[in-house]
Amino acid sequence: MHLITDGHQQWLARKGRKAATPRGFVDPAKPPEGFHSFPASFTDRVAAFKRGPQLMHQRDIGQLVVLTGLGPGWQVAEGGSGMGHLTSWLAYLTGPKGHVYSYENRQEHQELAKANFSSLDLPGLAPVTFKLGDVFQAGDDHPGRLDLLFYDLPNPWDGVSGAAKALKPGGWWACYLPSMAQVTQWLDSLNAGDTPAWFDPRIVQTLQLDWKPDQRTLRPESIGVTHTAFLCLARHL
Protein backbone atom coordinates (compact mmCIF):
# COMPACT_ATOMS: atom_id res chain seq x y z
CA MET A 1 0.00 0.00 0.00
CA HIS A 2 1.24 3.49 -0.89
CA LEU A 3 0.28 7.03 0.08
CA ILE A 4 -0.06 9.43 -2.86
CA THR A 5 -0.06 13.20 -2.34
CA ASP A 6 -0.01 16.36 -4.43
CA GLY A 7 1.00 18.37 -1.35
CA HIS A 8 -2.60 19.32 -0.60
CA GLN A 9 -4.63 16.13 -0.67
CA GLN A 10 -3.72 12.49 -0.20
CA TRP A 11 -4.96 9.13 -1.45
CA LEU A 12 -4.15 5.50 -0.77
CA ALA A 13 -3.22 2.98 -3.43
CA ARG A 14 -3.56 -0.65 -2.42
CA LYS A 15 -1.01 -3.24 -3.49
CA GLY A 16 -1.02 -3.65 -7.27
CA ARG A 17 -3.53 -0.83 -7.79
CA LYS A 18 -3.52 2.82 -8.76
CA ALA A 19 -4.90 5.69 -6.69
CA ALA A 20 -7.98 7.47 -8.01
CA THR A 21 -7.40 11.25 -7.87
CA PRO A 22 -9.30 14.22 -9.36
CA ARG A 23 -6.57 14.32 -12.04
CA GLY A 24 -6.92 10.68 -12.95
CA PHE A 25 -5.40 7.42 -11.79
CA VAL A 26 -1.88 7.62 -10.35
CA ASP A 27 0.54 4.70 -10.42
CA PRO A 28 2.48 4.76 -7.11
CA ALA A 29 5.49 3.23 -8.87
CA LYS A 30 5.59 6.06 -11.44
CA PRO A 31 3.83 9.13 -10.04
CA PRO A 32 3.43 11.94 -12.61
CA GLU A 33 4.80 15.44 -12.10
CA GLY A 34 3.20 17.13 -9.11
CA PHE A 35 2.55 13.88 -7.25
CA HIS A 36 4.65 12.04 -4.68
CA SER A 37 4.43 8.42 -3.54
CA PHE A 38 5.45 6.96 -0.17
CA PRO A 39 5.00 3.59 1.53
CA ALA A 40 1.85 3.86 3.64
CA SER A 41 2.43 3.98 7.40
CA PHE A 42 0.53 1.70 9.76
CA THR A 43 -1.71 4.64 10.67
CA ASP A 44 -2.45 5.24 6.98
CA ARG A 45 -3.44 1.61 6.54
CA VAL A 46 -5.75 1.57 9.54
CA ALA A 47 -7.38 4.81 8.38
CA ALA A 48 -8.35 3.02 5.15
CA PHE A 49 -10.42 0.39 6.99
CA LYS A 50 -14.02 -0.13 6.04
CA ARG A 51 -16.12 1.48 8.76
CA GLY A 52 -18.41 -0.41 11.06
CA PRO A 53 -19.07 -0.29 14.83
CA GLN A 54 -17.77 2.61 16.88
CA LEU A 55 -13.99 2.45 17.19
CA MET A 56 -11.65 3.23 20.08
CA HIS A 57 -10.07 6.61 19.38
CA GLN A 58 -6.33 6.86 18.84
CA ARG A 59 -5.87 9.19 21.81
CA ASP A 60 -7.28 6.48 24.08
CA ILE A 61 -5.21 3.73 22.46
CA GLY A 62 -2.14 5.84 23.20
CA GLN A 63 -3.13 6.07 26.86
CA LEU A 64 -3.74 2.32 27.00
CA VAL A 65 -0.22 1.66 25.71
CA VAL A 66 1.53 4.14 28.00
CA LEU A 67 -0.35 3.25 31.17
CA THR A 68 -0.06 -0.54 30.82
CA GLY A 69 3.34 -0.76 29.12
CA LEU A 70 1.80 -2.89 26.35
CA GLY A 71 4.59 -4.19 24.15
CA PRO A 72 6.25 -7.03 22.22
CA GLY A 73 5.39 -10.55 23.26
CA TRP A 74 2.25 -9.71 25.22
CA GLN A 75 -0.69 -12.12 25.26
CA VAL A 76 -3.83 -10.03 24.85
CA ALA A 77 -7.58 -10.63 24.58
CA GLU A 78 -10.27 -8.15 23.61
CA GLY A 79 -14.04 -8.15 23.36
CA GLY A 80 -15.61 -7.22 21.08
CA SER A 81 -13.74 -7.12 17.80
CA GLY A 82 -15.78 -4.24 16.37
CA MET A 83 -14.30 -3.23 13.02
CA GLY A 84 -10.85 -4.57 13.93
CA HIS A 85 -9.32 -1.18 14.72
CA LEU A 86 -7.95 -1.91 18.20
CA THR A 87 -7.32 -5.53 17.16
CA SER A 88 -4.89 -4.31 14.51
CA TRP A 89 -3.08 -1.92 16.83
CA LEU A 90 -2.69 -4.68 19.42
CA ALA A 91 -1.23 -7.02 16.78
CA TYR A 92 1.13 -4.27 15.59
CA LEU A 93 2.36 -3.40 19.09
CA THR A 94 2.75 -6.93 20.47
CA GLY A 95 4.58 -8.18 17.37
CA PRO A 96 5.25 -11.70 16.09
CA LYS A 97 6.01 -13.10 19.56
CA GLY A 98 2.71 -11.84 20.94
CA HIS A 99 -0.81 -13.10 20.38
CA VAL A 100 -4.18 -11.38 20.17
CA TYR A 101 -7.46 -13.18 20.90
CA SER A 102 -10.41 -11.20 19.59
CA TYR A 103 -13.89 -12.16 20.80
CA GLU A 104 -17.06 -10.98 19.08
CA ASN A 105 -20.69 -12.04 19.56
CA ARG A 106 -21.93 -10.75 16.20
CA GLN A 107 -20.76 -12.61 13.12
CA GLU A 108 -21.13 -9.62 10.78
CA HIS A 109 -18.82 -7.56 13.00
CA GLN A 110 -16.31 -10.38 13.20
CA GLU A 111 -16.26 -10.77 9.40
CA LEU A 112 -15.61 -7.03 9.01
CA ALA A 113 -12.82 -7.13 11.60
CA LYS A 114 -11.21 -10.10 9.84
CA ALA A 115 -11.39 -8.38 6.45
CA ASN A 116 -9.92 -5.14 7.77
CA PHE A 117 -7.10 -6.92 9.56
CA SER A 118 -6.28 -8.97 6.46
CA SER A 119 -6.14 -5.79 4.37
CA LEU A 120 -3.08 -4.60 6.33
CA ASP A 121 -0.95 -7.14 4.43
CA LEU A 122 2.07 -6.53 6.68
CA PRO A 123 4.78 -8.78 8.13
CA GLY A 124 5.74 -8.62 11.80
CA LEU A 125 2.25 -8.54 13.27
CA ALA A 126 1.12 -10.76 16.12
CA PRO A 127 -1.12 -13.63 15.06
CA VAL A 128 -4.79 -12.91 15.74
CA THR A 129 -7.27 -15.61 16.72
CA PHE A 130 -10.82 -14.45 16.03
CA LYS A 131 -13.39 -16.15 18.26
CA LEU A 132 -17.13 -15.96 17.73
CA GLY A 133 -18.45 -15.88 21.27
CA ASP A 134 -18.42 -14.09 24.60
CA VAL A 135 -15.17 -12.56 25.88
CA PHE A 136 -16.30 -13.51 29.39
CA GLN A 137 -15.14 -17.05 28.54
CA ALA A 138 -11.52 -15.83 28.24
CA GLY A 139 -10.87 -17.00 31.79
CA ASP A 140 -11.66 -20.57 30.82
CA ASP A 141 -9.78 -20.32 27.52
CA HIS A 142 -6.60 -18.69 28.88
CA PRO A 143 -6.42 -19.21 32.67
CA GLY A 144 -3.66 -17.07 34.15
CA ARG A 145 -1.98 -16.46 30.79
CA LEU A 146 -3.02 -12.98 29.65
CA ASP A 147 -1.04 -9.77 30.13
CA LEU A 148 -3.99 -7.58 29.12
CA LEU A 149 -7.73 -8.15 28.85
CA PHE A 150 -9.74 -5.37 27.21
CA TYR A 151 -13.53 -5.01 27.37
CA ASP A 152 -15.35 -2.61 25.05
CA LEU A 153 -18.73 -3.69 26.41
CA PRO A 154 -21.62 -1.96 28.17
CA ASN A 155 -21.54 -4.37 31.14
CA PRO A 156 -17.90 -5.28 31.94
CA TRP A 157 -18.68 -5.89 35.63
CA ASP A 158 -20.49 -9.08 34.61
CA GLY A 159 -17.12 -10.43 33.50
CA VAL A 160 -15.03 -9.46 36.53
CA SER A 161 -14.52 -13.04 37.72
CA GLY A 162 -13.54 -14.18 34.23
CA ALA A 163 -11.07 -11.31 33.99
CA ALA A 164 -9.44 -12.28 37.28
CA LYS A 165 -9.19 -15.88 36.10
CA ALA A 166 -7.65 -14.97 32.71
CA LEU A 167 -4.96 -12.52 33.83
CA LYS A 168 -1.46 -13.19 35.06
CA PRO A 169 -0.54 -11.67 38.44
CA GLY A 170 0.09 -8.01 37.66
CA GLY A 171 -1.83 -8.24 34.38
CA TRP A 172 -4.15 -5.43 33.32
CA TRP A 173 -7.93 -5.38 33.02
CA ALA A 174 -8.99 -2.44 30.84
CA CYS A 175 -12.53 -1.27 30.09
CA TYR A 176 -13.78 1.44 27.72
CA LEU A 177 -16.90 3.05 29.18
CA PRO A 178 -18.79 6.07 27.81
CA SER A 179 -20.73 7.05 30.95
CA MET A 180 -19.88 7.78 34.56
CA ALA A 181 -22.74 5.52 35.70
CA GLN A 182 -20.90 2.60 34.07
CA VAL A 183 -17.62 3.66 35.66
CA THR A 184 -19.24 3.65 39.11
CA GLN A 185 -20.59 0.14 38.58
CA TRP A 186 -17.18 -1.03 37.31
CA LEU A 187 -15.53 0.37 40.46
CA ASP A 188 -18.04 -1.47 42.63
CA SER A 189 -17.15 -4.73 40.87
CA LEU A 190 -13.48 -4.33 41.85
CA ASN A 191 -14.45 -4.47 45.51
CA ALA A 192 -16.89 -7.37 45.22
CA GLY A 193 -16.03 -10.65 46.93
CA ASP A 194 -14.31 -11.49 50.19
CA THR A 195 -10.75 -11.61 48.83
CA PRO A 196 -9.22 -8.56 47.11
CA ALA A 197 -8.34 -9.36 43.49
CA TRP A 198 -7.36 -5.94 42.12
CA PHE A 199 -4.97 -3.07 42.78
CA ASP A 200 -3.88 0.22 41.19
CA PRO A 201 -7.29 1.22 39.74
CA ARG A 202 -7.22 4.14 37.31
CA ILE A 203 -9.88 6.15 35.50
CA VAL A 204 -8.66 8.30 32.61
CA GLN A 205 -10.50 10.75 30.37
CA THR A 206 -8.35 12.08 27.53
CA LEU A 207 -9.34 15.36 25.87
CA GLN A 208 -7.71 16.44 22.63
CA LEU A 209 -7.88 19.87 20.99
CA ASP A 210 -6.74 20.05 17.38
CA TRP A 211 -5.67 23.37 15.87
CA LYS A 212 -6.22 24.67 12.35
CA PRO A 213 -2.72 24.61 10.74
CA ASP A 214 -3.05 27.92 8.88
CA GLN A 215 -0.81 30.85 9.84
CA ARG A 216 -3.48 33.37 8.84
CA THR A 217 -6.17 31.76 10.99
CA LEU A 218 -4.21 29.82 13.58
CA ARG A 219 -6.86 28.77 16.08
CA PRO A 220 -8.52 25.67 17.54
CA GLU A 221 -10.67 23.68 15.14
CA SER A 222 -14.37 24.55 15.42
CA ILE A 223 -15.54 20.95 15.19
CA GLY A 224 -14.08 17.95 16.97
CA VAL A 225 -14.77 15.02 19.26
CA THR A 226 -14.60 16.09 22.89
CA HIS A 227 -15.61 13.19 25.15
CA THR A 228 -14.94 9.71 23.79
CA ALA A 229 -15.06 7.34 26.76
CA PHE A 230 -13.44 6.71 30.12
CA LEU A 231 -10.51 4.30 30.06
CA CYS A 232 -10.76 2.26 33.25
CA LEU A 233 -7.83 0.11 34.35
CA ALA A 234 -6.94 -2.18 37.23
CA ARG A 235 -4.20 -4.75 37.83
CA HIS A 236 -4.75 -8.31 38.98
CA LEU A 237 -3.24 -9.42 42.30
The whole-number pLDDT of residue 203 equals 98
Note the pLDDT tens digit of each residue in 94-129: 999 999 999 999 999 999 999 999 999 899 999 999
The whole-number pLDDT of residue 53 equals 87
In angstroms, the Cα distances linking 43 to 137, 181, 203 are 31, 33, 26
**Cα separation, 112 vs 53, whole angstroms:** 10
Would you say residue 176 has pLDDT above 80? yes
The whole-number pLDDT of residue 14 equals 84
Neighbours of 102 (CB within 10 A): 27
Q: 172 lies in a domain? A: yes
End-to-end CA distance of the chain: 43
- State the Cα angle at 91 between 90 and 93, rounded to 5°: 65
Q: 46 lies in a domain? A: no
DSSP state at residue 115:
H
The whole-number pLDDT of residue 61 equals 98
**Among the listed residues 191, 183, 196, 190, the one whose alpha carbon sits nearest the alpha carbon of residue 232:** 183
3 state SS for 143-183: CCCEEEEEECCCCHHHHHHHHHHHEEEEEEEEEEECCHHHH
Neighbours of 53 (CB within 10 A): 17
Those residues with Cβ within 8 angstroms of residue 191's Cβ, 6 or more apart along the chain or in another chain = none
Domain count, the chain: 2
Average pLDDT, the chain: 94
Q: 84 lies in a domain? A: yes
Would you say residue 162 has pLDDT above 80? yes
Residues 27 and 109 reside in one and the same domain = no
10 Å CB burial of residue 134 (0-12, 13-18, 19+) is middle
Residues 93 and 28 reside in one and the same domain = no
Q: 47 lies in a domain? A: no
pTM of the model: 0.92
The whole-number pLDDT of residue 226 equals 87
Residues 84 and 176 reside in one and the same domain = yes
Would you say residue 194 has pLDDT above 90? no
- Confidence class of residue 163 from pLDDT cuts 50, 70 and 90? very high
- Confidence class of residue 199 from pLDDT cuts 50, 70 and 90? very high
Neighbours of 184 (CB within 10 A): 12
Note the pLDDT tens digit of each residue in 3-24: 999 888 888 888 878 888 888 8
Higher pLDDT, 47 or 172: 172
Show the domain range for 73: 58-236
The whole-number pLDDT of residue 16 equals 79
Look up the CATH number of the domain holding residue 80. Answer: 3.40.50.150
Q: 48 lies in a domain? A: no
**Cα separation, 6 vs 157, whole angstroms:** 49
The whole-number pLDDT of residue 219 equals 92
Higher pLDDT, 194 or 198: 198
